Every structure is written in C-alpha cells, then in structure tokens.
Amino acid sequence: MQGEGTRATLDALPADVRRRLDELRDALVKAAGDALAAVIVFGSAARGGWRPGRSDVDVMVVLRDDGREVLARIGHPLLVARYAARVEAIVLRADEVAQAADVFPLLYDELREDGVTIYGASPFAALHISDKHRALRIEQELREARIRLRRMVTDLDGAPGALASAVERKARQVRSPLRALLKLRGSDPGVALDAVLAAACAAWDVDPEALSRAQVAPEAAYAALTQLLSAATAEADRRNA
C-alpha cells in the first residue's frame, strides 16, 4: 500500500497489523458502499515510529454521506479494528474537508505528505493551506504542549524516572508543530523524531545532547525541552503578530 504522492508505505508494520487494516478497509467498503470516499492511514503507522503495544494506528475515514444510518453501519468494523489492532479512526465528510483546512492545517499537511491511502482518492492531496493558518496552529499546539508539560511535572511528585518518561513523551508529541515551524523557516528535516529534534535544537540554540539523555539526566532534559518550547513558541508568536 503506497501513500498518494509520497514515498510512505505501511511495509514497516507487522503483517498482522497490515492484515487488520486490509480487513477494516474491506469491511468499511461493504458497510458504507458508495458513501465511502477514502480511507487513509497516517501518524506513526505511516511515517515510521510505530511501536507494538504502545502505538495506535491512526486512520482517517472520509464519507460522502455521514447520515446516522451510515455511521451506524461502519461502527462495528471500526470497533473491531480498535480492539484488534488499536485502530483509532477520525470520520470526516468529504464536502467539509476543504472548509476545515484553516483549523486543521497541520493534520491536513500530515495526511497529504505522509498519509497512506488504502481506499479511494485522498481529498487532501490538492488542498491549499495558508502559512498564516499553519503558524496559528503551530503556536496553539506549542502553547498547549507547554501547559500540559507543566501539569505532567506537577503530577509526578518529584520522581526522576517519571520525569524522564514525561520529557520523552512530550518531545514525541511536539514533533509535528516543530517540523511545521522548521518548514516555514525553509527547511524540512523529514518525519523522523531524532532528525526533527536535532534540527529544532540547532535552529533555536538548544543543547541536543541534554534533550537526548532524558533517562540519564532528566532534569537537564526537562530544562532543554522547556527552552526549546519557549524559543519555538516565541517565533511562532512573532509570525502571528
């Protein structure tokens, strides 16, 4: 299965997960019929980095008709896939995709660039997304990440090991807005987390070694991540001024 307009594939996924996705596609076609416009796999399952037992398989289901009857028919296949392979689905209606490009610019970029279309034709391939909308969403996601990181730390009760895991988890979660901001700067480090973090550290003068050694020195890694988030957020804010 090949990503439309990209080199992304699902070849790195285990055979049983790919089989579950094929079964889901076939079940959705049977359940929805002509109402089904596209099924696209995205996230770590498509770009790499999917980890057994820890990662979800993100799927975008695009319908031409989202009436209650159609939603009810596709409910069972989606439920089976969720429990069998941790498939998490987003359901959109085809005629609302373009209208929502201003509020979902980074998600749409990911679907267009890294998504793997396993049924139909991707409605995201030819969309125009403005850099203004990207910058607004980048700032929102970075600010939310900083807020949630503070909450994570307050919940840890000072446990160093838990701090290391929190830093690593949050670093994975900000891969998308950091990459998007780097692309607005004119350079694309690619989808790999290590490459994005290395490029971001270089761009905003943060020690990459400190960020990469969370398990050894969690406090230093936390300081590096907060420095990175603050610098990147400040640049996004300037772009939105």
For residue 59, the cross-strand partners are 41, 89
Tally of CB atoms within 10 A around 190: 13
Residue 6's pLDDT band (cuts 50, 70, 90): very low
89-119 CB burial, b ≥16 within 10 A, e <16: beebbbeebeeebeebbbbbbbbbbbbbbbb
> What's the number of domains the chain is made of?
2
Per-residue pLDDT tens over the stretch 150-178:
998 888 876 667 889 899 999 999 999 99
56 burial level (CB within 10 Å; 0-12, 13-18, 19+): middle
Arithmetic mean of pLDDT, 121-137: 94
Out of 120, 147, 163, a domain closes at 120
Q: 41: part of which helix (H) or strand (E)?
A: strand 36-42
Residue 49's pLDDT band (cuts 50, 70, 90): confident
Distance CA 226, CA 46 (A): 28
At 153, which amino acid appears?
V
- Statement to judge: residues 230 and 162 lie in one domain: yes
Arithmetic mean of pLDDT, 87-92: 96
Structural domain of 165: 131-239
Question: Cα dihedral sign for 103, 105, 106, 107?
Answer: positive
Assess whether pLDDT exceeds 60 at residue 64: yes
Distance CA 64, CA 45 (A): 25
Tokens representing 70?
């159609």
Residue 42 belongs to domain with CATH number: 3.30.460.10
Assess if residue 126 is contained within a domain. Answer: no
Assess whether pLDDT exceeds 60 at residue 117: yes
- Statement to judge: residues 139 and 226 lie in one domain: yes
- Statement to judge: residues 76 and 164 lie in one domain: no
- Statement to judge: residues 168 and 140 lie in one domain: yes
At 100, which amino acid appears?
A
Strands in 57-63's sheet, in edge-to-edge order, are 87-93, 57-63, 36-42, 116-120
